[in-house]
């Protein structure tokens, strides 16, 4: 059984103590990593599904790299809206190792009878995401060439509505395009995303779409404008089996900080 750790929406700042709506994101990323190391068996892959930083600065990527360095040999990354591709590639050694030749930051990693594919939905300067034709072509080729029994996808912007007016307005712009690919290949069993900073699931074809809490600030899906929830930071564990998988979210046992809603 292979074990995957998903961390998402780190939102680390260049300045160590800087807070996002009252939440010290760098400190909480460290708390999450410490909790994982203290409580979890080892992981075969550690996948970061975007928003590594909040301010897209070289110092922020350096801090992320240092905090995650315990998993240097397991890390895989895709970008979120709060990322900058060039700085990500320069600052995180695992990124350049898995880049596919274009400026897109993707990965393709086989483990047992599973293929894990990371997609790039980042649009510079935009909060919403987009899945480009070149990404669809690249994904289609990775699926066609593979003899894997099962496929897991990882990317930042969820490909479905998550039942939140304000989050769905900043989701994946052309989500139907990716829905078509996911629905057409029954080997695709799961797609793990970030961006919405709360836990959500949705069935699509043979796949289940999962979103995962942030390692820092949590979002409240209710209402029509952005609000921040008082909830503990978390992460997702995925256990890959020969004939399926199990997954669950784990949160820190206490809520370290309450967010400021203004
Ligand atoms: Fe985020």
DSSP the chain: -EEEEEE----B-SSTT--BTTB-HHHHHHHHHHHHHHHS---SEEEEES--BSS--HHHHHHHHHHTGGGTTTEEEE--TT--HHHHHHH-HHHHHH--SSS---EEEEETTEEEEE-----TT-SSB---HHHHHHHHHHHHT---SEEEEE-SS-SS--S-HHHHTTSBTTHHHHHHHHHH-TTEEEEEE-SSSS-EEEEETTEEEEE---SS-EE--SSSS--EE----EEEEEEEETTEEEEEEEE-SS---PPPP-
Report the percent of the chain where pLDDT is more than 90: 95
Q: Is residue 103 part of a domain?
A: yes
pLDDT of residue 102: 76
Give distance in angstroms: CA of 18 to centre of ligand 1.
Answer: 16
Model confidence at 262: pLDDT above 90: no
pLDDT of residue 238: 98
Q: Is residue 256 part of a domain?
A: no
Give distance in angstroms: CA of 244 to centre of ligand 1.
Answer: 29
Give the chain's domain count: 1
pLDDT digits (tens, 9 = 90+) for 202-260: 999 999 999 999 999 999 999 999 999 999 999 999 999 999 999 999 999 999 999 99
Q: Is residue 260 part of a domain?
A: no
pLDDT of residue 252: 98
Give the confidence band of 76 by pLDDT, cuts at 50, 70, 90. Answer: very high
Give distance in angstroms: CA of 127 to centre of ligand 1.
Answer: 9
Give distance in angstroms: CA of 256 to centre of ligand 1.
Answer: 19
pLDDT digits (tens, 9 = 90+) for 90-139: 999 878 665 556 789 999 999 999 999 999 999 999 999 999 999 999 99
pLDDT of residue 94: 77
pLDDT digits (tens, 9 = 90+) for 144-167: 999 999 999 999 999 999 999 999
Q: Is residue 19 part of a domain?
A: yes
Give distance in angstroms: CA of 228 to centre of ligand 1.
Answer: 12
pLDDT digits (tens, 9 = 90+) for 12-45: 999 999 999 999 999 999 999 999 999 999 999 9
Give distance in angstroms: CA of 133 to centre of ligand 1.
Answer: 24
Give distance in angstroms: CA of 9 to centre of ligand 1.
Answer: 4
Q: Is residue 258 part of a domain?
A: no
Give distance in angstroms: CA of 214 to centre of ligand 1.
Answer: 7
Say which CATH number the domain at 98 has: 3.60.21.10
Give distance in angstroms: CA of 157 to centre of ligand 1.
Answer: 9
Give distance in angstroms: CA of 196 to centre of ligand 1.
Answer: 7
Q: Which structural domain, as residue segments, surrounds residue 201?
A: 2-251
pLDDT of residue 101: 63
Give distance in angstroms: CA of 147 to centre of ligand 1.
Answer: 34
Q: Is residue 262 part of a domain?
A: no
Q: Is residue 57 part of a domain?
A: yes
Give distance in angstroms: CA of 198 to centre of ligand 1.
Answer: 10
Give distance in angstroms: CA of 219 to centre of ligand 1.
Answer: 9
């Amino acid at each position: 059984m292979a074990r995957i750790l998903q961390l998402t929406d780190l939102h680390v700042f260049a300045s160590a103590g800087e807070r996002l709506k009252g939440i010290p994101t760098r400190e909480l990323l460290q708390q999450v990593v410490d909790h994982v190391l203290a409580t979890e068996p080892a992981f075969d892959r550690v996948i970061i599904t975007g928003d590594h930083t909040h301010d897209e600065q070289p110092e922020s990527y350096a801090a992320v790299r240092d905090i995650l360095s315990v998993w240097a040999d397991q890390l895989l990354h895709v970008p979120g809206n709060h990322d900058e591709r060039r700085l990500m590639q320069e600052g995180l050694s695992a990124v350049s190792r898995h880049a596919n030749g274009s400026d897109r930051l993707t990965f393709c990693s086989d483990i047992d009878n599973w293929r894990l594919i990371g997609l790039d939905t980042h649009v510079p300067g935009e909060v919403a995401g987009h899945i480009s034709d070149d990404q669809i072509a690249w994904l289609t080729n990775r699926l066609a060439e593979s003899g894997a029994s099962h496929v897991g996808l990882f990317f930042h912007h969820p490909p479905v509505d998550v039942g939140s007016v304000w989050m769905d307005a900043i989701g994946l712009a052309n989500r139907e395009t990716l829905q078509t690919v996911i629905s057409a290949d029954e080997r695709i069993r799961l797609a793990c995303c970030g961006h919405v900073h709360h836990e959500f699931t949705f069935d699509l074809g043979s796949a289940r779409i999962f979103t995962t809490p942030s390692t820092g600030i949590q979002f409240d899906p209710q209402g029509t404008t952005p609000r921040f929830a008082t909830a503990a930071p978390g992460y997702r564990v995925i256990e890959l089996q020969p004939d399926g998988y199990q997954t669950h979210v784990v949160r820190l046992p206490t809520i370290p900080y309450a967010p400021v809603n203004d």
